[in-house]
Amino acid sequence: MKTLTVGLGDRAYDIHIGTGLLDRTGALIAAGARPSKAVVLTDDNVWALYGQRLETALGELPHETLVLPHGEQTKCAKQYARCLSFCAAQNLTRSDLIIAFGGGVIGDLAGFVAATYMRGVRFVQIPTTLLAQVDSSVGGKTAIDLPEGKNLVGAFWQPSLVIADTALLQTLPAREQAGGMAEVIKYGALFDESLFALLEAHPTWETATPLLDEIVYRCCDLKRQVVEQDERDNGARMLLNFGHTFGHAIEAHGRYTKYIHGEGVALGMVLAAKVGISQNLTPIGTDDRLESLCDSFGLPMADRFTADQLTAHLQLDKKRDGKALRLILLHRIGDGFIHTLSVDEAVALTEAICDGD
Ligand code: NAD
Ligand code: GLY
């Protein structure tokens, strides 16, 4: 097991990463805090696969579990209210604990429940998808969706512990494994060319599997540094949106059913690289390098879009600041930066790269 500490003063917390950590959950929690009881929030897929092991691992910690349906639709006001009522029914108090056991959907929902139940209780993240292990379980962004849009209601609320058992990732559907890899590729592209090169040398799930502990550790370490620098997303943390502006537009264009998040991010990273190249800000060939790596992990890189399919969504991008839009570009692989441009400029560039050839 390797451990990182997110240094946020009195809200600092550890991230434990390794194989087989699920079975040590009770001991790892007890090493940090001694809650008198816990509520476990999870989804049906995760519970069917790993519920019994978590039950055993929690040992003597009294707990009750609410099993929610899997999928993004669970990140909603109705399930949020259901979770709050469940916590109240268990007489959960502020000295107790919520355990988020699942992917990013459960982590975001359970985190928001923890942020708001009794004005805030501690919560432990046990992320079970690659996306959740390298991204959503770290950094304290919690949220639910509204019918009007994703993540529209939420809070910054840091977990008190993250336990990432990389062995759990082997049961993920192949598409979710690839989608998580898109986020890993994102970290390499933004911050660490040697991580990117490591993936290029092991460019499939099978060849990367022996490296998963190292990959998750390196991504969490990069995210840790970003969050320590900019917890509230006013500066450096925006870099983590590389690929996301176009990615969200692609997800929305696919009505959130055709593409999973990581697929949108992968396609979006290539489009962002093309924008950078068109502005002489990014070296020629960066788009091909990104596309080739994403392709080898099974991401749907052959898909193409017209500007019309993306620009309406770009204009709604929530990172817009008045008329400005912040697009994350690359000086080169391993060195991302924030590029501010007007929405009109972004639309023109999108037209040039999508419709221009
Ligand atoms: P998810 O939680 O829906 O999990 C994907 C699927 O995999 C689900 O069907 C789930 O039941 C299943 N699953 C989970 N673990 C499994 C395992 N070990 N074996 C087999 N199946 C398993 O999706 P996700 O991609 O983990 O998360 C997406 C969510 O994360 C979105 O709502 C997104 O907004 C959010 N997100 C949040 C942040 C943040 O910083 N808070 C960052 C990125 C994404
Ligand atoms: N996933 C982006 C962030 O945590 O800021």
User: 329-354, pLDDT tens digit by residue?
Assistant: 999 999 999 999 988 899 999 999 99
Which ligand 1 atom lies nearest to the CA of residue 142?
Answer: 41
Q: Residues 74, 80, 85, CA angle at the centre, nearest 5°?
A: 130
Residue 178 in domain = no
237 lines ligand 2 (CB under 6 A): yes
Q: What is the mean pLDDT of residues 121-131?
A: 98
Q: Is the pLDDT of residue 149 over 80?
A: yes
Ligand 1 center to residue 102 CA distance, Å?
Answer: 7
Which atom of ligand 2 is found nearest the CA of 141?
A: 4
Provide the CATH number for the domain around residue 201. 1.20.1090.10
Number of structural domains in the chain = 2
| Ligand number nearest to the C-alpha of 231 | 2
Residue 177 lies in a domain: no
Is 181 within the bounds of a domain?
no
Q: Which domain holds residue 316?
A: 193-355
Place 109 in a pLDDT band, splitting at 50, 70 and 90. Answer: very high
In this prediction, residue 232 carries a pLDDT of 96
Q: Which of 231-240, 241-250, 310-319 is least confident?
A: 310-319
pLDDT of residue 322: 67
User: What's the confidence (pLDDT) of residue 180?
Assistant: 98
pLDDT in tens, 240-275: 999 999 999 999 999 889 999 999 999 999 999 999
pLDDT at 122: 97
In whole angstroms, what is the distance from residue 174 CA to residue 152 CA? 29
Residue 199: predicted pLDDT: 98
Q: What is the mean pLDDT of residues 145-171?
A: 96
CATH number, position 55: 3.40.50.1970
Mean per-residue pLDDT, 84-112: 97
68, part of any domain = yes
Identify whether 141 is part of a domain.
yes
In a domain, 328, yes or no: yes
Tell me, in angstroms, the distance from the centre of ligand 1 to residue 101's CA.
10
Are 112 and 52 in the same domain? yes
CB-based contacts of 231, cutoff 8 Å, min separation 6: 8, 139, 140, 156, 237
Please give the pLDDT value at position 160.
97
Do 156 and 205 fall within a single domain? no
Same domain, 230 and 147: no
Q: How far apart are CA 114 and CA 157, in angstroms?
A: 8
Angstrom distances, CA of residue 81 to CA of 43, 92, 117, 194, 323: 16, 15, 10, 44, 36
Spell out which residues line ligand 1, taking CB within 6 angstroms: 43, 45-46, 49, 70-72, 75, 102-106, 108, 128-129, 131-132, 135-136, 139, 141, 150-151, 168, 171-172, 176, 261
Mark whether 89 and 163 lie in a shared domain. yes
Specify whether 228 is located in the same domain as 121.
no
pLDDT above 60: residue 357: no
Centre of ligand 1 to C-alpha 193, Å, is 26
Q: How confident is the model at residue 216 (pLDDT cuts 50, 70, 90)?
A: very high
Q: Indicate if 202 and 327 belong to the same structural domain.
A: yes
Average pLDDT score over the chain: 95
Answer yes or no: is 317 within a domain: yes
* 341 in the same domain as 246: yes
- Shared domain check, 141 and 33: yes
Q: Are residues 158 and 205 in the same domain?
A: no
In terms of domains, do 15 and 142 share one? yes
Residues 103 and 48 in one domain: yes
